[in-house]
Chains A and B, each alone.
Chain A
Amino acid sequence: GQQLNQSPQSMFIQEGEDVSMNCTSSSIFNTWLWYKQDPGEGPVLLIALYKAGELTSNGRLTAQFGITRKDSFLNISASIPSDVGIYFCAGLQGYNYGQNFVFGPGTRLSVLP
């Protein structure tokens, strides 16, 4: 099935550094969602984006809906140890068509003290 591409696959950063990751596709999406998954837990929704060019923040997290509608970006500022986890993106191609959620494989973030 269709999958999204995420980069980087993993990253190790020092506490206090900023983090950038992205999600790309060859297809257009109407909605982009960013999730964080802690080990052994379910994904938790961080940010939802609904319009091309939209920039939305949630605390230290900022995400953008790419202008081409084929990509999205997530930034984390001033990272802290609890930011450790897997961040993955999801795209929705239709409105109210749940079967069209498509997921990326995730970016694994490690924060070194």
Chain B
Amino acid sequence: DADVTQTPRNRITKTGKRIMLECSQTKGHDRMYWYRQDPGLGLQLIYYSFDVKDINKGEISDGYSVSRQAQAKFSLSLESAIPNQTALYFCATSDLVGPGELFFGEGSRLTVL
């Protein structure tokens, strides 16, 4: 089983719908992140959380919200999805201490029609 699990893996929805992407991890890491990947661009940070009570905006947080339900769970919500939010979304984790390596989930492909 993957250490970082994302659900759903694929989702097609319509403009205006609320969508939640979920992430859970078994690595025991404190830090969790949500990234967005678009073709030809590097991964862009949406939100990150360093512990359960800590939530921080990344470079492209507009239109997204997150919830850190537990150390192992971090969900991303699109309150009212729009077509330009069609992308591949990745959850990632890293340890509080150590050299700073990111471990990624398998991705959630979201299509907004």
Interface-located stretch among A61-69, A76-84, A98-106: A98-106
Residues of B within 8 A of A (CB): 4, 6, 31, 33, 40-45, 48, 50, 56, 58-60, 90, 94, 96-97, 99-107, 109
Are B44 and A1 in contact, CB atoms less than 8 angstroms apart?
yes
**Total contacts A-B at CB 8 Å:** 66
User: What's the interface size class on A, roughly?
Assistant: 20 to 34
Are A88 and B50 in contact, CB atoms less than 8 angstroms apart?
no
Determine if A43 is an interface residue (Cβ-Cβ < 8 Å): yes
Take A1-B59, A92-B100 as given contacts and tell me if A41 and B45 are in contact as well, using a CB distance cutoff of 8 Å. no
Are B99 and A42 in contact, CB atoms less than 8 angstroms apart?
no
Take A96-B97, A98-B48 as given contacts and tell me if A43 and B42 are in contact as well, using a CB distance cutoff of 8 Å. no
Taking the closest CB of chain B, its distance from the CB of A54, in whole angstroms, is: 12
Are A98 and B50 in contact, CB atoms less than 8 angstroms apart?
yes
Taking the closest CB of chain B, its distance from the CB of A69, in whole angstroms, is: 15
Complex CA distance for A56 and B32, rounded to whole angstroms: 27
Are A50 and B99 in contact, CB atoms less than 8 angstroms apart?
yes
Contact of B42 among A4, A44, A48 (CB under 8 A): A4
Complex CA distance for A3 and B35, rounded to whole angstroms: 14
Contact of A33 among B44, B58, B101 (CB under 8 A): B101
Are B42 and A105 in contact, CB atoms less than 8 angstroms apart?
yes
Are B94 and A98 in contact, CB atoms less than 8 angstroms apart?
yes
Complex CA distance for A93 and B96, rounded to whole angstroms: 15
CB contacts (< 8 Å) of A101 on chain B: these are 33, 45, 100, 102
CB contacts (< 8 Å) of A48 on chain B: these are 99, 101
Determine if A31 is an interface residue (Cβ-Cβ < 8 Å): yes
Are B45 and A104 in contact, CB atoms less than 8 angstroms apart?
no
CB contacts (< 8 Å) of A105 on chain B: these are 40-42
13 contacts between A and B (CB under 8 A): A1-B45, A1-B59, A1-B60, A30-B100, A31-B99, A33-B101, A40-B109, A42-B106, A45-B101, A45-B102, A48-B101, A99-B58, A102-B42
CB contacts (< 8 Å) of A90 on chain B: these are 43, 102
